[in-house]
Amino acid sequence: MGRLLCAIAALAFALAALPFAAHAQPADFPARPVRLVVPFAPGGGVDIVARLVAPKLSQAWGQPVVVENKAGAIGAVASEYVLQQPADGYTVLIGVAGSHAIAQYLHHNLAYDPVRDFAGVTVLSYSPLICLVAPSSPFHTMKELVDAAKTKPVAFGSPGAGSQPHLIGEMFNLLYGTQFQHVAYRGVAPAMQDLLGGHIPMVMGEMGSAKPLVTSGRLRALAVTGTTRNPSVPDVPTFTEAGYPNFEVNSWFALFVRTATPKPIVDKIAADVTKAVRSPDVEARLVADGWQPGGGTPAEFTKLWMDTSKQLGNVIQERHITIE
Protein backbone atom coordinates (compact mmCIF):
# COMPACT_ATOMS: atom_id res chain seq x y z
CA MET A 1 0.00 0.00 0.00
CA GLY A 2 2.84 2.36 0.87
CA ARG A 3 4.46 1.83 -2.51
CA LEU A 4 1.11 2.37 -4.24
CA LEU A 5 0.56 5.65 -2.39
CA CYS A 6 4.08 6.80 -3.27
CA ALA A 7 3.49 5.92 -6.94
CA ILE A 8 0.18 7.79 -6.96
CA ALA A 9 1.82 10.81 -5.33
CA ALA A 10 4.67 10.77 -7.84
CA LEU A 11 2.20 10.51 -10.73
CA ALA A 12 0.14 13.40 -9.34
CA PHE A 13 3.26 15.54 -9.00
CA ALA A 14 4.30 14.73 -12.56
CA LEU A 15 0.85 15.56 -13.94
CA ALA A 16 0.77 18.82 -11.98
CA ALA A 17 4.11 19.81 -13.48
CA LEU A 18 3.03 19.12 -17.07
CA PRO A 19 1.58 22.58 -17.81
CA PHE A 20 4.78 24.23 -16.66
CA ALA A 21 6.95 21.85 -18.67
CA ALA A 22 4.76 22.36 -21.71
CA HIS A 23 4.95 26.12 -21.27
CA ALA A 24 8.73 25.96 -21.32
CA GLN A 25 8.93 23.87 -24.48
CA PRO A 26 9.44 25.60 -27.83
CA ALA A 27 7.61 22.96 -29.90
CA ASP A 28 4.22 24.65 -29.62
CA PHE A 29 5.55 28.22 -29.87
CA PRO A 30 4.01 30.28 -31.29
CA ALA A 31 0.39 29.23 -31.03
CA ARG A 32 -0.97 32.71 -31.70
CA PRO A 33 0.21 36.01 -33.26
CA VAL A 34 3.54 37.50 -32.17
CA ARG A 35 4.14 41.24 -31.87
CA LEU A 36 7.41 42.98 -32.72
CA VAL A 37 7.43 46.32 -30.89
CA VAL A 38 9.45 49.05 -32.62
CA PRO A 39 10.48 51.99 -30.39
CA PHE A 40 10.33 54.58 -33.18
CA ALA A 41 7.84 55.93 -35.69
CA PRO A 42 7.16 54.09 -38.97
CA GLY A 43 9.57 54.63 -41.83
CA GLY A 44 12.89 54.67 -39.96
CA GLY A 45 15.64 52.08 -40.25
CA VAL A 46 14.44 49.92 -37.35
CA ASP A 47 10.89 49.86 -38.70
CA ILE A 48 12.07 48.95 -42.21
CA VAL A 49 14.13 46.00 -40.96
CA ALA A 50 11.31 44.81 -38.68
CA ARG A 51 8.83 44.80 -41.57
CA LEU A 52 11.34 43.00 -43.78
CA VAL A 53 11.84 40.16 -41.28
CA ALA A 54 8.25 39.85 -39.97
CA PRO A 55 6.83 38.04 -43.06
CA LYS A 56 9.71 35.56 -42.97
CA LEU A 57 8.99 34.71 -39.34
CA SER A 58 5.27 34.50 -40.03
CA GLN A 59 5.96 32.00 -42.78
CA ALA A 60 8.23 29.91 -40.53
CA TRP A 61 5.86 29.98 -37.55
CA GLY A 62 2.53 29.70 -39.29
CA GLN A 63 1.28 32.64 -37.26
CA PRO A 64 0.92 36.38 -37.98
CA VAL A 65 3.90 38.49 -36.88
CA VAL A 66 2.68 42.03 -36.37
CA VAL A 67 4.90 45.13 -36.17
CA GLU A 68 3.70 47.71 -33.62
CA ASN A 69 5.26 51.18 -33.32
CA LYS A 70 5.50 52.63 -29.80
CA ALA A 71 7.60 55.78 -30.21
CA GLY A 72 8.80 58.09 -27.45
CA ALA A 73 11.56 58.88 -24.93
CA ILE A 74 14.29 57.26 -27.07
CA GLY A 75 12.84 53.78 -26.64
CA ALA A 76 11.56 54.00 -23.06
CA VAL A 77 7.88 54.05 -24.08
CA ALA A 78 8.23 50.81 -26.04
CA SER A 79 10.25 49.15 -23.27
CA GLU A 80 7.68 49.99 -20.62
CA TYR A 81 4.91 48.69 -22.88
CA VAL A 82 6.64 45.33 -23.37
CA LEU A 83 7.19 45.00 -19.62
CA GLN A 84 3.43 45.27 -19.09
CA GLN A 85 2.85 42.19 -21.29
CA PRO A 86 3.16 38.53 -20.20
CA ALA A 87 6.68 37.04 -20.23
CA ASP A 88 5.79 34.41 -22.82
CA GLY A 89 7.70 35.47 -25.95
CA TYR A 90 4.62 36.77 -27.76
CA THR A 91 5.62 40.43 -27.33
CA VAL A 92 9.18 41.10 -28.47
CA LEU A 93 10.99 44.44 -28.20
CA ILE A 94 13.30 45.65 -30.95
CA GLY A 95 15.96 47.70 -29.20
CA VAL A 96 18.84 49.62 -30.73
CA ALA A 97 22.36 50.26 -29.50
CA GLY A 98 21.59 53.96 -29.17
CA SER A 99 18.60 53.47 -26.88
CA HIS A 100 18.19 50.20 -25.02
CA ALA A 101 21.90 49.72 -24.35
CA ILE A 102 22.25 53.13 -22.70
CA ALA A 103 18.85 53.94 -21.20
CA GLN A 104 20.09 53.53 -17.63
CA TYR A 105 22.81 56.13 -18.25
CA LEU A 106 20.61 58.74 -19.92
CA HIS A 107 17.44 58.77 -17.82
CA HIS A 108 17.44 59.75 -14.15
CA ASN A 109 13.93 58.45 -13.42
CA LEU A 110 13.76 55.35 -15.58
CA ALA A 111 10.84 53.11 -14.55
CA TYR A 112 12.73 49.91 -15.38
CA ASP A 113 16.22 48.41 -15.44
CA PRO A 114 17.18 47.33 -18.98
CA VAL A 115 19.60 44.67 -17.73
CA ARG A 116 17.45 43.31 -14.90
CA ASP A 117 14.10 43.39 -16.70
CA PHE A 118 15.07 42.28 -20.21
CA ALA A 119 16.85 39.30 -21.75
CA GLY A 120 18.77 39.65 -25.00
CA VAL A 121 17.65 37.34 -27.81
CA THR A 122 19.69 38.01 -30.96
CA VAL A 123 20.83 40.72 -33.37
CA LEU A 124 18.36 41.59 -36.11
CA SER A 125 20.86 43.59 -38.17
CA TYR A 126 23.98 45.69 -37.84
CA SER A 127 23.58 49.31 -38.87
CA PRO A 128 26.75 51.22 -39.78
CA LEU A 129 26.93 54.94 -38.99
CA ILE A 130 28.17 57.45 -41.53
CA CYS A 131 29.59 60.99 -41.52
CA LEU A 132 27.76 63.17 -44.03
CA VAL A 133 28.25 66.63 -45.55
CA ALA A 134 26.53 68.48 -48.38
CA PRO A 135 28.05 68.36 -51.89
CA SER A 136 28.80 72.09 -51.59
CA SER A 137 30.76 71.54 -48.36
CA PRO A 138 34.41 72.65 -48.29
CA PHE A 139 35.23 69.34 -46.57
CA HIS A 140 36.13 66.60 -49.02
CA THR A 141 37.87 64.24 -46.59
CA MET A 142 37.46 63.29 -42.95
CA LYS A 143 40.87 64.82 -42.21
CA GLU A 144 39.79 68.21 -43.56
CA LEU A 145 36.68 68.13 -41.37
CA VAL A 146 38.61 67.03 -38.27
CA ASP A 147 41.33 69.63 -38.75
CA ALA A 148 38.66 72.34 -38.94
CA ALA A 149 36.92 71.02 -35.81
CA LYS A 150 40.19 71.11 -33.89
CA THR A 151 40.60 74.82 -34.48
CA LYS A 152 37.00 75.98 -33.97
CA PRO A 153 33.56 74.51 -33.17
CA VAL A 154 31.78 72.69 -36.01
CA ALA A 155 28.09 71.90 -35.59
CA PHE A 156 26.77 68.44 -36.32
CA GLY A 157 23.19 67.20 -36.36
CA SER A 158 21.68 63.94 -35.15
CA PRO A 159 18.17 62.42 -34.83
CA GLY A 160 18.03 63.57 -31.21
CA ALA A 161 19.84 64.13 -27.93
CA GLY A 162 21.13 60.83 -26.58
CA SER A 163 20.80 59.04 -29.93
CA GLN A 164 23.74 56.96 -31.04
CA PRO A 165 24.73 59.39 -33.83
CA HIS A 166 24.88 62.09 -31.13
CA LEU A 167 27.02 59.89 -28.89
CA ILE A 168 29.51 58.91 -31.57
CA GLY A 169 30.09 62.60 -32.31
CA GLU A 170 30.85 63.10 -28.63
CA MET A 171 33.06 60.01 -28.67
CA PHE A 172 35.05 61.51 -31.52
CA ASN A 173 35.56 64.66 -29.42
CA LEU A 174 36.94 62.55 -26.57
CA LEU A 175 39.26 60.52 -28.80
CA TYR A 176 40.63 63.23 -31.09
CA GLY A 177 40.20 66.57 -29.31
CA THR A 178 37.71 67.96 -31.80
CA GLN A 179 35.05 70.58 -31.06
CA PHE A 180 32.01 69.07 -32.73
CA GLN A 181 28.95 70.75 -31.25
CA HIS A 182 25.71 68.80 -31.20
CA VAL A 183 22.44 70.05 -32.67
CA ALA A 184 19.45 67.84 -31.83
CA TYR A 185 16.66 67.27 -34.35
CA ARG A 186 13.33 65.51 -33.99
CA GLY A 187 14.32 62.56 -36.12
CA VAL A 188 16.46 61.71 -39.11
CA ALA A 189 14.42 63.51 -41.80
CA PRO A 190 14.66 67.10 -40.44
CA ALA A 191 18.40 66.69 -39.81
CA MET A 192 18.94 65.54 -43.39
CA GLN A 193 16.81 68.39 -44.74
CA ASP A 194 18.89 70.98 -42.91
CA LEU A 195 22.07 69.35 -44.18
CA LEU A 196 20.76 69.34 -47.75
CA GLY A 197 19.77 72.98 -47.34
CA GLY A 198 23.20 74.02 -46.09
CA HIS A 199 21.91 75.02 -42.65
CA ILE A 200 24.27 72.68 -40.79
CA PRO A 201 27.75 71.54 -41.90
CA MET A 202 27.65 67.87 -40.92
CA VAL A 203 25.33 65.06 -39.80
CA MET A 204 26.17 61.77 -38.16
CA GLY A 205 23.65 59.48 -39.84
CA GLU A 206 22.51 55.88 -40.02
CA MET A 207 23.34 53.99 -43.20
CA GLY A 208 19.84 52.81 -44.02
CA SER A 209 18.42 56.33 -44.33
CA ALA A 210 21.61 57.94 -45.68
CA LYS A 211 22.49 55.51 -48.46
CA PRO A 212 19.95 56.73 -51.10
CA LEU A 213 21.12 60.32 -50.59
CA VAL A 214 24.77 59.30 -50.92
CA THR A 215 24.38 57.09 -53.98
CA SER A 216 22.28 59.75 -55.73
CA GLY A 217 24.96 62.39 -55.09
CA ARG A 218 22.71 64.59 -52.95
CA LEU A 219 25.06 64.10 -49.97
CA ARG A 220 28.78 63.38 -49.66
CA ALA A 221 29.95 60.69 -47.25
CA LEU A 222 33.36 61.14 -45.63
CA ALA A 223 33.66 57.94 -43.59
CA VAL A 224 31.63 54.98 -42.35
CA THR A 225 31.95 52.77 -39.28
CA GLY A 226 32.94 49.13 -39.67
CA THR A 227 36.08 47.07 -40.06
CA THR A 228 35.69 46.89 -43.85
CA ARG A 229 34.08 49.13 -46.44
CA ASN A 230 30.33 48.90 -46.73
CA PRO A 231 29.42 47.15 -50.01
CA SER A 232 26.46 49.49 -50.59
CA VAL A 233 28.81 52.52 -50.69
CA PRO A 234 32.15 50.96 -51.69
CA ASP A 235 33.83 54.29 -52.44
CA VAL A 236 33.41 55.57 -48.86
CA PRO A 237 36.40 54.80 -46.60
CA THR A 238 36.07 53.39 -43.11
CA PHE A 239 37.11 55.65 -40.25
CA THR A 240 40.24 53.52 -39.90
CA GLU A 241 41.14 54.07 -43.55
CA ALA A 242 40.46 57.78 -43.11
CA GLY A 243 43.11 57.88 -40.35
CA TYR A 244 41.06 57.30 -37.19
CA PRO A 245 41.68 53.65 -36.22
CA ASN A 246 40.40 53.87 -32.64
CA PHE A 247 36.92 54.87 -33.74
CA GLU A 248 35.07 51.55 -33.72
CA VAL A 249 31.39 51.71 -32.78
CA ASN A 250 28.91 48.89 -32.29
CA SER A 251 25.58 49.76 -33.90
CA TRP A 252 22.77 47.23 -34.08
CA PHE A 253 19.06 46.52 -34.02
CA ALA A 254 18.27 43.57 -31.74
CA LEU A 255 15.48 41.61 -30.08
CA PHE A 256 14.68 41.59 -26.36
CA VAL A 257 12.08 39.83 -24.23
CA ARG A 258 11.19 40.00 -20.56
CA THR A 259 13.71 38.17 -18.38
CA ALA A 260 11.07 35.73 -17.07
CA THR A 261 10.49 34.36 -20.58
CA PRO A 262 11.29 30.60 -20.63
CA LYS A 263 14.76 29.95 -22.00
CA PRO A 264 13.60 27.37 -24.60
CA ILE A 265 11.30 30.03 -26.08
CA VAL A 266 14.13 32.59 -26.15
CA ASP A 267 16.44 30.08 -27.84
CA LYS A 268 13.78 29.22 -30.45
CA ILE A 269 13.15 32.87 -31.33
CA ALA A 270 16.91 33.44 -31.65
CA ALA A 271 17.39 30.40 -33.90
CA ASP A 272 14.43 31.23 -36.15
CA VAL A 273 15.35 34.91 -36.45
CA THR A 274 18.92 33.90 -37.33
CA LYS A 275 17.58 31.74 -40.17
CA ALA A 276 15.33 34.56 -41.33
CA VAL A 277 17.93 37.34 -41.46
CA ARG A 278 20.53 35.06 -43.05
CA SER A 279 18.19 33.71 -45.72
CA PRO A 280 19.42 34.71 -49.20
CA ASP A 281 16.57 37.10 -50.05
CA VAL A 282 16.53 38.94 -46.70
CA GLU A 283 20.32 39.16 -46.55
CA ALA A 284 20.46 40.54 -50.10
CA ARG A 285 17.91 43.23 -49.24
CA LEU A 286 19.70 44.19 -46.02
CA VAL A 287 23.08 44.46 -47.75
CA ALA A 288 21.61 46.45 -50.63
CA ASP A 289 20.25 48.99 -48.14
CA GLY A 290 23.56 49.29 -46.27
CA TRP A 291 22.83 46.97 -43.35
CA GLN A 292 24.43 43.67 -42.44
CA PRO A 293 22.47 40.60 -41.30
CA GLY A 294 22.61 39.71 -37.63
CA GLY A 295 21.70 36.45 -35.95
CA GLY A 296 23.49 34.37 -33.33
CA THR A 297 22.76 32.97 -29.89
CA PRO A 298 21.35 34.87 -26.90
CA ALA A 299 24.71 34.51 -25.14
CA GLU A 300 26.61 36.00 -28.09
CA PHE A 301 24.26 38.94 -28.29
CA THR A 302 24.26 39.55 -24.53
CA LYS A 303 28.04 40.00 -24.62
CA LEU A 304 27.74 42.48 -27.49
CA TRP A 305 24.96 44.30 -25.61
CA MET A 306 27.08 44.65 -22.47
CA ASP A 307 30.14 45.78 -24.47
CA THR A 308 28.09 48.44 -26.27
CA SER A 309 26.51 49.60 -23.03
CA LYS A 310 29.92 50.06 -21.44
CA GLN A 311 31.36 51.85 -24.49
CA LEU A 312 28.54 54.35 -24.87
CA GLY A 313 27.95 54.65 -21.13
CA ASN A 314 31.50 55.91 -20.70
CA VAL A 315 30.88 58.59 -23.34
CA ILE A 316 27.65 59.68 -21.61
CA GLN A 317 29.36 59.96 -18.25
CA GLU A 318 32.50 61.73 -19.48
CA ARG A 319 30.52 64.24 -21.57
CA HIS A 320 27.87 64.68 -18.83
CA ILE A 321 24.97 63.91 -21.18
CA THR A 322 21.51 63.56 -19.60
CA ILE A 323 17.92 63.42 -20.78
CA GLU A 324 15.08 64.39 -18.47
pLDDT number for residue 248: 82
pLDDT number for residue 4: 42
Span between the terminal Cα atoms of the chain, in Å: 69
pLDDT number for residue 9: 44
pLDDT number for residue 246: 83
Q: From residue 154, how far is each of 49, 97, 169, 170, 253 by CA, in Å?
A: 32, 25, 11, 12, 29
CA 40/CA 238 separation, integer angstroms: 28
pLDDT number for residue 151: 97
Q: From residue 221, how far is each of 135, 145, 304 by CA, in Å?
A: 9, 12, 27
Where do the DSSP E strands lie in the chain? 34-38, 65-69, 91-96, 118-126, 129-133, 154-158, 180-184, 202-206, 220-224, 252-258, 292-295
pLDDT number for residue 21: 38
pLDDT, block means (10 residues), the chain with 324 residues: 44 43 65 95 86 97 97 86 97 89 82 93 94 96 97 93 89 96 87 93 89 94 93 94 88 96 98 98 93 96 94 92 75
CA 128/CA 123 separation, integer angstroms: 14
pTM, to two decimals: 0.84
pLDDT number for residue 6: 46
CB 67 within 8 A of CB 78: no
pLDDT number for residue 187: 78
Cis amide leading into 30 (omega within 30): yes
